[in-house]
Amino acid sequence: MGAAAVEGSGAPAPRRLALLEMVALGLVGLLFTALLVQVFARPFGLSFVWIGELSIPLFVWIVFVGAAIASRRSEHPYVEIGYTAVSQLLSPGGRKALDVLLAAMAIAFFLVFIAGLIGMTRQTWDHVPGLLPGYRVGYLYLGALVGALGCLVATIRRLLEKWQQGARDAGSPGAGDNTPSII
């Protein structure tokens, strides 16, 4: 659907929510509800200790799933220190090589991060803190793993799109843009 206008209204068409966005929305709703219950129960002398334990993994999941969503939309913050200055000195082929190098570095980072998260998820999977029946500490690392995988896929997708764009632009005079890096 994307940016297409609704017929006759001039307004953008509503965008379908992707699976990760629905997951993030559900997690935010669950966290908000749990904290709201805690706030309104306290004046009546009720305290739910497990809400504090539940809020930590929910927050971790929200942060990492949100990072994957932002990466997929190319709305994540990226470091541009020196990129603009250096890329202006390079030929279009040099800019493409710089983009590939930066993407390769990001991919390498995500692969190392994912390997560590897999190890931590396995190591903590059987650890049950006690306040929430059925809750495992490994769920915390699993949320970070889902987010890191989403960021990795988005980075690879942008790299492939940039590569295909470069192939299409290769025959055009003045080809090669000076857009920020693909990571």
In a domain, 9, yes or no: no
In a domain, 142, yes or no: yes
Burial grade of 33 (CB within 10 A; 0-12, 13-18, 19 or more): exposed
**What distances in angstroms separate CA 11 from CA 18, 22, 38, one per listed residue?**
21, 23, 40
Q: Which two tokens stand for residue 16?
A: 């379908």
31 touches 59 (CB < 8 A): yes
**What distances in angstroms separate CA 153 from CA 74, 103, 127, one per listed residue?**
12, 11, 30
Question: What share of the chain has pLDDT > 70, as a percent?
Answer: 80
Long-range CB contacts for residues 108-112, cutoff 8 Å, separation at least 24: 110/148, 110/151, 110/152, 110/155, 111/152
In a domain, 183, yes or no: no
Residue length, the chain? Answer: 183
In a domain, 134, yes or no: yes
- Cα four-point dihedral sign 164, 97, 67, 147: positive
Q: Tell me how far apart the alpha carbons of residues 42 and 174 are, in angstroms, rounded to a whole number.
A: 66
Domain extent at residue 76: 19-169
In a domain, 176, yes or no: no
Summarize pLDDT for 132-141 with one digit per residue, the tens. 778 888 998 9
Summarize pLDDT for 111-138 with one digit per residue, the tens. 999 999 999 999 999 888 777 778 888 9
Summarize pLDDT for 136-162 with one digit per residue, the tens. 889 989 999 999 999 999 999 988 888
In a domain, 3, yes or no: no
- The residue type found at 167 is A
Domain count along the chain: 1
In a domain, 116, yes or no: yes
In a domain, 182, yes or no: no
